Amino acid sequence: MLESDWKDRELLELSFDSDLRVGQFKAIDYFNDGSLYLLDAPGHAIGHTCALARVTNGDSQTQDTFVFMAGDTCHHAEQSIHSMQEFDAADNVLVIIAHDCAPREADSGFTFFPHGTLNDWKSKRLDEKIRWRFLDDFAAAAEAGSEQETTLKGGLVYK
């Protein structure tokens, strides 16, 4: 970044020095109302953060729902990846990771701003349509590997 990128703008440096934690992440309750948490997710880059947004308020019959915007958490950030797994396992959290193409697929059911929101992701079951879908990218490689033969020392053939 260049200094000119923030010229004439107020720059706020985040400080995660409170005791607030959301899951395993140090957190800041950005609006002080539980609607948006900024999460300290070190590892990818200095100062890398994620966000957890409450998109619906539950009642006696339903849980609150959230969207976890993971950014680049999956890139070179072992502890942050481990911490993110808690959200991925929760059925009331939709995890969206940077560079994951699944939400942009035509059959994902996602509608993007300004044409839609993610507030109803749970009722539309969007999590079921995209969760772990990136594994489809490996199908061809796995198939090719299953057809491959390797001859080891002693003439043993490994398939």
Per-residue pLDDT reduced to its tens digit, 80-130: 888 999 999 999 999 999 888 899 999 999 998 899 999 999 999 999 999
Other residues' Cβ atoms within 10 Å of the Cβ of residue 119? 14
More confident residue, 5 or 134: 5
Instruction: Kindly report the pTM of this predicted structure.
Output: 0.81
Residues ≥6 apart with Cβ < 8 Å to 115: none
Other residues' Cβ atoms within 10 Å of the Cβ of residue 108? 15
- Asked if 98 contacts 77 with a C-beta cutoff of 8 angstroms, the reply is no
State the alpha helices, DSSP H only, in 57-125. Answer: 78-89
Whole-number Å distance between alpha carbons of 67 and 88: 10
Per-residue pLDDT reduced to its tens digit, 40-61: 998 778 889 999 999 999 999 9
Burial of residue 65 (number of CB atoms within 10 Å: 0-12, 13-18, 19+): buried
CA angle 104, 22, 73 (to 5 degrees): 40
Whole-number Å distance between alpha carbons of 100 and 113: 18
Chain mean position to CA 31: 21
